[in-house]
Amino acid sequence: MNDAQRIEREPTPRHVPNHLVVDFDVYNPTTDANRFHEAFVEFQRATPYPFVWSPHHGGHWIAVRGTDVHTLYGDHERFSSRYFFVPAAPAQVPMGALTLDPPEHKPFRAFLNAGLTSKIIGGRSDAVRTLAAELAAALAPARRCEFITQMGDVLPLSVFLDLVELPLSDREKLGSLVDASTRHPDPGKRVEAMDGLAAYLAPYLNDRRGRDGEDLLSRAVNADIGGRPIDAAEALGSAIHILMAGLDTVSSLFSFVMLFLAQNPGHRRALVENPDLIPAASLELIRRFPVVTMARQARADFEIEGTAFREGDMLAIASQFFNLDPSIYERPLEVDWNRSVHRILTFGHGPHRCPGALLGRNELVIGLQQWLQHIPDFALEEGADVTVCGGTVSKITRLPLVW
C-alpha cells in the first residue's frame, strides 16, 4: 500500500454511525467518462440519507441531496472554505478569495470581479473567436484529432494566459501543474504542484508590484485590502487561485461536452443547422456536465437534519448532486435544448461563485460555434477507451475524434 492509499482510508470516527458509512469515492466514482455523471445520479437515487460518510481521501462527509449541496456552497457560518480539497492538507498554501471566508473574503474578491467584468470579457470575444477559428480550421483537413491536447486545452489556456499577460510558451508547463494540483491522487503531490505554481508566479508578481496594469495579476499584487496594501503572501495565494481557476475548469467542461456531441448526432445537427441556438444551448450543457467538487470544513460541533458534525470534519460538496438531482431538473441526464435552466452549480454559488463564469461560458460558446462551422460532423474514434480522471475538477484524459 502506498502513501496515497494510506491517507485515503482512515478509521471511521466515533460520532459517525455505521449505517452512514458508504464506499463511494466522490472524486472517482468511475473511470468511464460515459458513466461519470450517471454514477452520481445512481448513488443519489440509492442513498436514503442527506449526509453520508466516505472513508476515502482521509474520511469525510458527502452532502447527497441537491438542495443541501446548494445551501452548503454558500454556508460560510458553519463551514469554512480554508481547504481546497479532501483530505485537509495543512501545508496547502492559502489561495486568496477561494480559501477565505466572509467577511475577510470580500476585498480579495473585489479585484477579481473588477478584472472580469462583462465589458472586459466582451472586449476579448473577437480574439477568442479568431483563435478558435484558427484551431478548428487547422485541424479540419486532418480528419482526426486528439481533442484535449489539440483544442480543448489550447483554447481556454491560451485565452487565459493572454488575459493575465503570461507567456503562451508556458502553456503546457502551467497546464501540467494545474492538472496535478486538482487531480493528483496523492494530496502531497497536489500541494507540491501548488508550490510549483507559486515558484513560477513569484517573479512576475514582484515585477508588477507598484506598476499600473489592468491584467488580473497586476490587480492582485497591487490590491487594496481594507485600506492597506496586499502583502506578498496574499498576492501569491490570489494569483495561484486565478491560474488554477482560469486554466482548468473550462477545459474540463469542454471535454465532456465534445464527448456528448460526438456520440449524439441529432443534438449536434440541431446546433449545426441553427448556430443561433448555441448560446442558450450552452447553459444546458453547463448544467448537464458539472465537473467541480469543492471541500468545506466544519467550524464547530453542530447537527444538520439529525447528522452530527464535529469541528474539523471535512465535507465534500459535489456540483453533480445539484445539477443532476431529479427533484430540481426532470430527466436530469437528458440534454434538452428547450430546457429552462434556472440554477446551476457548475461555477459555484454564494460568496465563492466563480468570478470567471462569464468568461468560461463565452469560451465554450465561441469554441462550439467555430468547431461546428469547420467540423460539423464528427464521432468518437471506434474502439476508443475514454477515461476520466477525478478530483476537485474532473476531466477526460484523452478524447480521439474522427470525421
Question: Does position 7 have pLDDT exceeding 70, yes or no?
Answer: no
pLDDT of residue 57: 94
Instruction: Give me the percent of the chain exceeding a pLDDT of 70.
Output: 98
Look up the CATH number of the domain holding residue 121: 1.10.630.10
Question: Does position 96 have pLDDT exceeding 90, yes or no?
Answer: no
Q: What is the pTM of this model?
A: 0.93
Question: Does position 390 have pLDDT exceeding 70, yes or no?
Answer: yes
- Span 209-236, mean pLDDT? 93
CA distance 168 to 284: 31
pLDDT band at 355 (very low <50, low <70, confident <90, very high): confident
pLDDT tens for residues 249-258?
899 999 999 9
Question: Mean of the per-residue pLDDT values for the chain?
Answer: 93
pLDDT band at 6 (very low <50, low <70, confident <90, very high): very low
Question: Does position 1 have pLDDT exceeding 50, yes or no?
Answer: no
pLDDT of residue 94: 85
Question: Does position 142 have pLDDT exceeding 60, yes or no?
Answer: yes
- Span 306-329, mean pLDDT? 97
Say how many domains are in the chain. Answer: 1
Question: Does position 2 have pLDDT exceeding 70, yes or no?
Answer: no
- Span 294-310, mean pLDDT? 97
pLDDT band at 9 (very low <50, low <70, confident <90, very high): low
pLDDT of residue 71: 94
The parent domain of residue 354 ranges over 3-402
pLDDT of residue 353: 83
